[in-house]
Amino acid sequence: MSYFFIGINILFIATLIFYIVFFSLVYYWHEKKTTFVAVPLLYTFEFFLAGFLIVSIISILLEYAPKIFKTLT
């Protein structure tokens, strides 16, 4: 399997877990009748963006590292 495929699957699973926790907390706070949401939706996008960048960089390095080392030596 390709490193890109594995990385994107890891990112998808991590994001899915994060959204499940986020929506369960929002539902819990909704039941408790609080007046504000403690975890804004922007944090979920920030998590996805950071995860995407990290997985992309690692995937690119793992995919092309042998070619780079071969070129340098």
Residues 64 and 58: their CA atoms lie apart, in Å, by 10
The token pair that represents 41 in the structure block: 């939706």
Q: Model confidence over 26-63: pLDDT tens digits?
A: 777 666 665 555 556 666 677 778 877 888 888 888 88
What pTM was estimated for this model as a whole? Answer: 0.53
Residue with the bigger pLDDT between 45 and 20: it is: 20
Q: What is the pLDDT of residue 27?
A: 76
User: Where does the chain have alpha helices with state H?
Assistant: 3-31, 41-72
Q: For residue 8, is pLDDT > 70?
A: yes
- pLDDT reported for residue 33: 61
C-alpha triplet 53, 20, 28: angle, nearest 5°:
130
